[in-house]
Structure 1
Amino acid sequence: MDIKKRLDAEVAKRNTQNEINENNPDPILVAHKYRNPAVSLICALFAYGNVNQIVKFLHSLDFSLLNEDDTVIENALKNHYYRFQTAADISALFIALKRLHVNQTLEEIFQNAYDENKSVIEGINALIQRLNSLYVHHSRGYTFLLSKVSTKTKGTGALKRWMMFLRWMVRDDNIDMGLWKGIDKADLIMPLDTHTFNVSRRLGLLKRKTYDLQAAIELTNKLKTFDATDPLKYDFALYRLGQEKLL
């Protein structure tokens, strides 16, 4: 089997607005309704677990709260929870994002850190640090939600939800929104989840046996041999191949 030909065909098949709908949901379905980076980040950070439950939870959120006072946010979200996240965790994220946008944007913070070494990891680290500093909140659920700052690639989390957020923001096609213009899509790293990890190993695209950030980088580098300028165009196709058990 010619893997590149198979994946290129899958990309062409999947790159359509009809690919994402309420019957075939994805967190980007909610993000598309608002086309707003802060809303998109919330959608991405809660994108773990059953996809139907993710989308149901995201639909329950009132994103206009990002413009409200802290107490209004806390009262509005006091009965909300999602898996590891309590109402306090969800409120903390909304308040931190609201405070961030008083003086800066997510894009500006990311861009400034990314520009130093063209590193999306450094950009993500800057955003995690800023959000944690703007609203200090400590819990297991909140740490999981934001992720920890990554100082190494081996044996550390793959930052899948952050990498997916960046794919949405940077790439521009029928799936991704392309809201940020200053980042080279060639610098993006694959949002490696268990579906993509397992499919990539079965296809021989990934040799690494450990599910970590290094595996995401290695898979990205392999996909750059198929398309050096846009390796993440294969992400959604690989994800769907795994999700739909087509191999």
Structure 2
Amino acid sequence: MSDDLSLLKIKLNQLISKYKNVSYLETDPICFPKRYKNPLDIEIVSIISCLFAYGNVKNIKNFLDPIFNMMGASPYEFLSQQSSSFSKFLQNLKGYRFQTKEDVVVLFLTLQKILRKKTKQSPIFESYFLNSKESFEKNSSIQNFQKKIESEILITANTKELTYGLQFLIGKWNSKSPKKRISLFLRWMVRNEYPDFGLYKKIKTYQIPYPMDVHIQKLSKVLGIHNQKQVQLNDAFLLTEFFRNINAVDPLLYDFYLTRVGIIDRCKGRYEEKICNGCELKEVCLVVPRGIEPRLQG
């Protein structure tokens, strides 16, 4: 490992020491599945939380908190059963940003249909990512997941085309976007270390694209890892490969902690004395003195 990477690893480990505390889980959508013990509840709450994980954390929590409260102690059991409580639940749902109330209702009806077809055996969605050989493929697995969910939604809605809100929610399978929210869901499901759950056993952590939210995009630039103005799915896979140089077994280890730099420390991606001088990454950041050279291009 080069001196630059060794120093970066030291600083990343300092960042982990700072933020590896359960109190910081409340600054992340992972706080929702952390409320449950049953793997079936964890998985269904995780997919819902990740699909709506856009916008600031406060807005996400304001939208999802009432939903999970209405679903009671076991969201899996609640969604699996047709009852008057579920009908009332649908009536009380609200829209969220690009999703209308009708979009949200269709999503939950679709999830109910999927769960009622499944046996009580976790995991629920892992097979959606796997090919005929039960393996994860870089160029098709996430797209196949999107296709399958889209197909289920179209059947539920009895239509041939998704609304804008539902299309935004699951993403276009044939787009080159980094597919951040699905990658985040995979991180939660595949990693078997804090703060994640490790429910999926047939997918390896190093196979997953890095969840390229705005904070990771910003930090990967100021750390000199990439300099693209627009990131695509291949860039997310490249970022995973970069972190494999630091941690070959668990390259996504750093995702949760790096995003705290943006969410809590309010990193702007430019030098601001009050923010930067207290940052654990200041010695390896390009926007402050003693920066390092870019390590990943293209």
Partner of 2:257: 237
Greater shift after overlay, 49-58 or 98-107?
98-107
Q: Output the amino acid matched with 1:77.
A: L
Q: Does the 8 A contact of 2:216 with 2:258 survive in 1?
A: yes
- The answer to whether the aligner puts 1:202 opposite 2:216 as a matched pair is no
Aligned-pair distance for 1:80?
0.9
Q: Does the 8 A contact of 1:113 with 1:123 survive in 2?
A: no
Give the alignment's Cα RMSD to 1 decimal: 2.4
Distance 1:91 1:121, change over 3 A: farther
Alpha-carbon distance in structure 2 between the residues aligned to 1:66 and 1:178: 23
> Which runs of no fewer than 5 residues in structure 2 stay unpaired?
119-123, 268-274, 277-298
Alignment partner of 2:210: what SS?
coil
Q: Does the 8 A contact of 1:114 with 1:120 survive in 2?
A: no
Which of 9, 29, 33 lines up with 1:4 in the alignment? Answer: 9
Partner of 1:56: 62
- The answer to whether the aligner puts 1:131 opposite 2:149 as a matched pair is yes
TM-score, normalized by length of structure 2? 0.73
Q: Does the 8 A contact of 1:44 with 1:162 survive in 2?
A: yes
Alpha-carbon distance in structure 2 between the residues aligned to 1:71 and 1:119: 41
Alignment partner of 1:135: what SS?
helix
Distance 1:122 1:224, change over 3 A: same
Partner of 2:185: 165
Alpha-carbon distance in structure 1 between the residues aligned to 2:133 and 2:28: 27
Q: Output the amino acid matched with 2:149.
A: L
Superposed, 1:64-213 pairs within 5 Å as 64=75, 65-69=78-82, 73=86, 75-78=88-91, 79-104=93-118, 105-112=124-131, 115-116=134-135, 118-119=136-137, 122-136=140-154, 137=157, 138-150=162-174, 156-213=176-233
Q: Does the 8 A contact of 1:109 with 1:126 survive in 2?
A: yes
Distance 1:205 1:179, change over 3 A: same
Alignment partner of 2:130: what SS?
helix
Aligned-pair distance for 1:107?
1.8
> Which runs of no fewer than 5 residues in structure 1 stay unpaired?
none
Q: Output the amino acid matched with 1:86.
A: T
Q: Does the 8 A contact of 2:206 with 2:240 survive in 1?
A: no
Alpha-carbon distance in structure 1 between the residues aligned to 2:83 and 2:126: 23
Q: Output the amino acid matched with 1:48.
A: Y
Aligned-pair distance for 1:237?
1.6
Percentage of matched positions with identical amino acids: 31
Alpha-carbon distance in structure 2 between the residues aligned to 1:140 and 1:70: 29
Q: Output the amino acid matched with 1:143.
A: Q
Kindly name which structure, 1 or 2, has the bigger radius of gyration based on alpha carbons.
2
Q: Deviations over 1:60-102 (max 9, x none)?
A: 1134442244997565234411111111111121122222223
Alpha-carbon distance in structure 2 between the residues aligned to 1:199 and 1:81: 31
Q: Output the amino acid matched with 1:181.
A: K
Alignment partner of 1:150: what SS?
coil
Aligned-pair distance for 1:55?
1.2
Superposed, 1:33-44 pairs within 5 Å as 33-34=35-36, 35-44=41-50
Aligned residues: 239
Alpha-carbon distance in structure 1 between the residues aligned to 2:133 and 2:107: 22
Q: Does the 8 A contact of 2:206 with 2:241 survive in 1?
A: no
Q: Does the 8 A contact of 1:169 with 1:176 survive in 2?
A: yes
Partner of 1:17: 22
